[in-house]
């Protein structure tokens, strides 16, 4: 009956063959199929520690000259715990800014974070072979703008933010908080951005009703479009259901939510705007951006100031008090009726208590609930309504 011996037993037999049987080391090595140096190491280990010393040992070296220094690893873990949103690339960049020597690589930083349980190990997505990063070649050539929610006030009101970034530099050119994203509020933030930074060549937005009405039942020029036209700005629109076209502003919104909005409740609108301004200043001036080679947006935005427009800003449309082309909000009554521009009409009892947006033009009243067009009503003049009321009496 054959019995398989363990590694320890085989090594012990080799030792006994030399010490007890008096065989030469060369003969024992040939019999066991190992080198002479291996037999000599077994003899030395047996003499030093007995039978237990013949067990398998770790092959890990006692020292590693290129291993991360304990002080650097401690600083790395401290940075990660202070900034949970920072990944290996940002952490390695921060260590470089702190002049850490020797500077660990991104892979070393990643392994250290995994080792300490500060990051979940996941497979990296392989970039497509035909992937190309799309960006404009200089600042002030294109702004991307959009509206994002999530600003919660202490009284329960959820506010909106109009954001805008420069496509080339990722510099945040607009960040205005408003209770309702209506035409006047949105365009007021746009006007302030134009006054502060100048006039870009183009602005890219989605097809939201505060930005355009080119695809409505009766296309009209809204206030945002009018300001762009009067200042010589080409207003570009994304294709329907194509959020990747404005990918840079969407990515900015992800950073805004994660680093600024998540879990925050602000006392009032003014305090929310103050804190947002401070965060934007840090984002523009101090925060390195991985998409532009770890430069800050301000470094890229101000690098070629001679390319920015020096044309005067025309904001007369914003001061125009005409009631024709504007957006207003109404809360639907319990019976489903709202009143706009001296006209009362129903939008459905099931919408009782809901806040809807009404696009007021010279001829139509368009009622919107979010992105849904609820109802379109032909607008009756104020004088005509009074005349009908007088005849009814």
Could you tell me the maximum CA-CA distance found in the chain, to the nearest angstrom?
132
d(CA 242, CA 261): 25
Q: What is the DSSP string of 256-321?
A: HIIIIITT--BSSHHHHHHHHHHHHHHHHHT--BGGGTTB-HHHHHTTTGGGS--PPP--HHHH--
Domain ranges, ordered by start, for the chain: 7-54, 70-115, 142-318, 322-392
Higher-pLDDT residue of 212 and 4 is: 212
Q: State whether CATH 3.30.70 applies to domain 70-115.
A: no
With a cut of 70, say whether residue 391 has pLDDT above it: no
Q: What is the pLDDT of residue 239?
A: 83
With a cut of 80, say whether residue 324 has pLDDT above it: no
Q: What is the mean pLDDT of residues 185-193?
A: 92
The pLDDT > 90 percentage for the chain reads 43
Taking the whole predicted model, whether its pTM rises above 0.75 is answered as no
Give the confidence band of 384 by pLDDT, cuts at 50, 70, 90: very low
Check: CB of residue 73 under 8 Å from CB of residue 112. yes
d(CA 55, CA 8): 6
Give the confidence band of 201 by pLDDT, cuts at 50, 70, 90: very high
What are the strands, taking DSSP E only, across the chain? 142-152, 158-166, 172-178, 202-205, 234-237, 326-331, 337-340, 343-346, 355-360, 364-369, 372-378
With a cut of 90, say whether residue 221 has pLDDT above it: no
Q: What is the mean pLDDT of residues 214-222?
A: 75
The pLDDT > 70 percentage for the chain reads 88
> Which CATH fold would you assign to the domain 142-318?
Nucleotidyltransferase; domain 5 (3.30.420)
Q: What is the pLDDT of residue 368?
A: 81
Identify any residues that bridge with 369 across adjacent strands, giving them in sequence order. 372
Q: What is the pLDDT of residue 249?
A: 93
Check: CB of residue 159 under 8 Å from CB of residue 181. no
The per-residue pLDDT for range 342-356, each reduced to its tens digit, is 889 999 999 998 888
The per-residue pLDDT for range 71-87, each reduced to its tens digit, is 999 999 999 999 888 88
* Long-range CB contacts (within 8 A, 24+) of 260-268: 261/150, 261/151, 264/152, 265/152, 265/153, 265/154, 266/151, 266/152, 266/153, 266/154, 267/153, 267/154, 268/153, 268/154
Q: What is the pLDDT of residue 371?
A: 62
Give the confidence band of 320 by pLDDT, cuts at 50, 70, 90: low
- Report the DSSP pairing between strands 343-346 and 337-340: antiparallel
The per-residue pLDDT for range 127-137, each reduced to its tens digit, is 666 666 688 88
With a cut of 80, say whether residue 322 has pLDDT above it: no
- On average, the pLDDT of the chain sits at 85
The secondary structure of residue 59, as a DSSP letter, is -
Helix (H) or strand (E) holding 192: helix 183-197
Q: What is the pLDDT of residue 180?
A: 87
Q: Which of 23, 71, 72, 14 is nearest to 42 (CA)?
A: 14
Q: What is the mean pLDDT of residues 332-342?
A: 89
């Amino acid at each position: 009956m054959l019995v398989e011996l363990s590694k320890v037993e085989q090594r012990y037999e080799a030792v006994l063959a030399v010490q007890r049987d008096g065989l030469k080391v060369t003969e024992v090595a040939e019999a066991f199929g190992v080198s002479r140096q291996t037999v000599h190491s077994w003899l030395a280990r047996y003499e030093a520690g007995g039978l237990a010393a013949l067990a398998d040992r770790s092959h890990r070296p006692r020292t590693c000259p290129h291993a991360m220094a304990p002080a650097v690893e401690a600083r790395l873990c401290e940075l990660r715990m202070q900034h949970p949103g920072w990944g290996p690339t940002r952490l390695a960049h921060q260590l470089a800014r702190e002049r850490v020597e020797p500077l660990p690589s991104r892979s070393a930083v990643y392994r250290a974070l995994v080792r300490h349980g500060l990051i979940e190990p996941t497979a990296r997505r392989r970039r497509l072979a035909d992937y190309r990063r799309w960006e404009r070649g200089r600042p002030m050539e294109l702004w991307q703008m959009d509206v994002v929610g999530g600003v919660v006030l202490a009284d329960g009101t959820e506010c909106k933010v109009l954001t805008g970034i420069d496509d080339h530099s990722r510099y945040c050119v607009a960040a205005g908080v408003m209770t309702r994203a209506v035409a006047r509020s949105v365009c007021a933030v746009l006007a302030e951005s134009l006054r502060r930074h100048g006039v870009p060549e183009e602005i890219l937005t989605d097809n939201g009703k505060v930005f355009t009405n080119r695809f409505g039942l009766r296309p009209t020029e809204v206030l945002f479009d009018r300001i762009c036209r009067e200042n010589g700005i080409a207003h570009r629109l994304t294709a329907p259901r194509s959020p990747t076209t404005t990918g840079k502003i969407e990515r900015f919104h992800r950073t805004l939510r994660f680093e600024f909005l998540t879990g925050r409740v602000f006392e009032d609108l003014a305090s929310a705007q103050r804190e947002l301004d401070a965060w934007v200043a840090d984002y523009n001036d101090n925060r390195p951006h991985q998409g532009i080679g770890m430069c800050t947006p301000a470094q890229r935005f101000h690098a070629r100031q001679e390319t920015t427009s020096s044309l005067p800003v025309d904001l007369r449309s914003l001061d125009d008090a005409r009631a024709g082309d504007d957006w207003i909000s109404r809360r639907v009554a319990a019976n489903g009726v709202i009143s706009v521009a001296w006209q009362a009409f129903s939008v459905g009892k099931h919408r009782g208590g809901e806040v809807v947006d009404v696009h007021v033009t010279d001829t139509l009243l368009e009622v919107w609930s979010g992105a849904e067009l609820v109802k379109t009503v032909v607008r009756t003049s104020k004088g005509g309504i009074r005349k009908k009321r007088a005849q009814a009496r």
